[in-house]
């Protein structure tokens, strides 16, 4: 396993885009973890005397309409973005993993029912569903996570199902079964390790999508609670003052674009390394 990781890492390091992506991600993760230490100002402190300040030595990215330091807020926003992304992707992935295996192993009717279920979930346009649910649920990160989970676990389910089906009848597994291997042994020793490759590729590709959804929902005012720093909320402020103070918008979009680029390029590189076959199909 360590040899595997070693070679994978080695191969990733040979790809300039992957290196670029990993550098961005490392930067984001470190700045999110150390946000409190790095932040030059209290992200929530309003300084009405310094509203709409231009970028300067004191306010590296200027201030917003309430005189809060944009840079400090973006650092905190990164924390929220990563928290939502990791939580939502883990939950969606886990549900998808279980349902996908059920579909793959279960009787035919169950497989068909789950496939139909996945198809039905795919019919909801994410942001529109988010708006509809936002009308019914309290505003907060919990709602964001629920929306992401609902709209994304089906995709994991599909991938896991396909992998499971193709493995279920593979010769080595049939042989094990014939020799009386337990169901659990087959799942944990054979299916799971083989499913995890495509599963992690999908998860990596999904992180930037989730980050975008969180930012988008916060932009629409249905994400983070009011006052909470979030990239989307900063972008909303920037949009409101686009004519007078464009740098709120400019600096608000920067970390979001960097994060999505970083994660997408890393996902691409991972996919190329782990499963070159997939490249053709997308």
Partner 1 sequence: MLRYTFQRIVLALAIVFFAISALYTVMITLPGDPTTVLLGPRATAEIRADFRERMGLDNPIHVQIAHFWGRILSGDMGTDFNRNRPVADSVFSALPHTVALVFGAIFWSASLGILLGAFSADNRGSWLDRISGVLSVAFIAAPSFVVALYSLLVFSVWLRWFPTIGAGEPGDIMSRLYHLALPSFAIGLAWVGYVARIVRASMLEALGENYIRTARAFGLPRRTVIYNYALRVAILPAVQVLGVGIGGMLSSAVFAEIVFSRPGLGSLIYDSVSGRNYPVVMGAMLVAIGFFVTCALIADLINAALDPRHRSQR
Binding mask 260-279 for partner 1 (x = CB under 8 A): xx-xxx--x----------x
**Which residue number, 37 or 128, has a Cβ lying nearer to partner 1?**
128
123 and 181 Cβ atoms separated by less than 8 Å: no
Q: How far is the CB of 258 from partner 1 (least distance, A)?
A: 10
Q: At what angle do helices 2-13 and 246-274 cross, to 10 degrees?
A: 130
Nearest CA-CA partner of 104 in 192, 230, 14, 222: 192
78 SS3 class: helix
Kindly state the tokens that stand for 151.
Answer: 């709209």
Question: d(Cα 167, Cα 79) in Å, to the nearest integer?
Answer: 39
Part in contact with partner 1 (CB under 8 A); list of ranges 38-46, 61-69, 94-102, 254-262: 254-262
Q: What is the largest CA-CA distance in the chain?
A: 78
Binding mask 156-195 for partner 1 (x = CB under 8 A): ----------------------------------------
Part in contact with partner 1 (CB under 8 A); list of ranges 63-71, 72-80, 165-173, 238-246: 238-246
Q: For partner 1, which residue of 60, 105, 124, 241 counts as binding (CB under 8 A)?
A: 124
Nearest CA-CA partner of 82 in 120, 25, 8: 25
Q: Is 222 in the site for partner 1 (CB under 8 A)?
A: yes
Binding mask 126-145 for partner 1 (x = CB under 8 A): xxxx-xxxxxxx--------
Eight-state DSSP code of residue 189: I
244 and 53 Cβ atoms separated by less than 8 Å: no
Q: Is 257 in the site for partner 1 (CB under 8 A)?
A: yes
**Which residue number, 68 or 271, has a Cβ lying nearer to partner 1?**
271
CA–CA distances in Å: residue 133 to residues 103, 128, 151, 261:
28, 9, 12, 29
**Which residue number, 91 or 121, has a Cβ lying nearer to partner 1?**
121
Q: What is the binding site for partner 1 (CB under 8 A)?
A: 17, 116, 119-129, 131-137, 208, 212, 215-216, 219-222, 235, 238-239, 242-243, 246, 249-250, 253, 256-257, 260-261, 263-265, 268, 279-282
């Amino acid at each position: 396993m360590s040899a595997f990781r070693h070679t994978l890492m080695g191969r990733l390091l040979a790809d300039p885009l992957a290196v670029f992506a990993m550098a961005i991600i490392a930067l984001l993760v470190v700045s999110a973890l150390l946000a409190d230490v790095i932040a030059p100002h209290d992200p929530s402190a309003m300084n009405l005397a310094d509203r709409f300040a231009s970028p300067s030595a004191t306010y590296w990215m200027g201030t917003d309409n309430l005189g809060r330091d944009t840079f400090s807020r973006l650092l905190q926003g990164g924390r929220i973005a990563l928290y939502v992304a990791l939580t939502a992707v883990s939950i969606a992935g886990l549900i998808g993993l279980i349902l996908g295996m059920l579909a793959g192993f279960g009787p035919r009717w169950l497989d068909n029912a789950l496939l139909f279920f996945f198809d039905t979930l795919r019919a909801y346009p994410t942001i529109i569903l988010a708006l509809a649910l936002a009308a019914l649920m309290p505003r907060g990160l919990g709602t964001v996570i629920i929306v992401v989970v609902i709209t994304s676990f089906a995709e994991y389910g599909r991938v896991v199902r396909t992998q499971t089906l193709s493995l279920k009848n593979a010769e080595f597994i049939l042989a094990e079964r014939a020799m009386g291997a337990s169901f659990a042994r087959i799942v944990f020793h054979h299916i799971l390790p083989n499913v995890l490759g495509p599963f992690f590729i999908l998860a990596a590709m999904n992180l930037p999508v989730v980050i975008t959804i969180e930012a988008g929902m916060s932009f629409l005012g249905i994400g983070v609670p009011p006052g909470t720093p979030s990239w989307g909320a900063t972008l909303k402020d920037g949009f409101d003052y686009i004519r007078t103070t464009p740098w709120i918008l400019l600096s608000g979009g920067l970390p979001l674009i960097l994060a999505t680029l970083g994660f997408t390029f890393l996902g691409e590189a991972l996919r190329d390394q782990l499963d070159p076959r997939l490249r053709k199909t997308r």
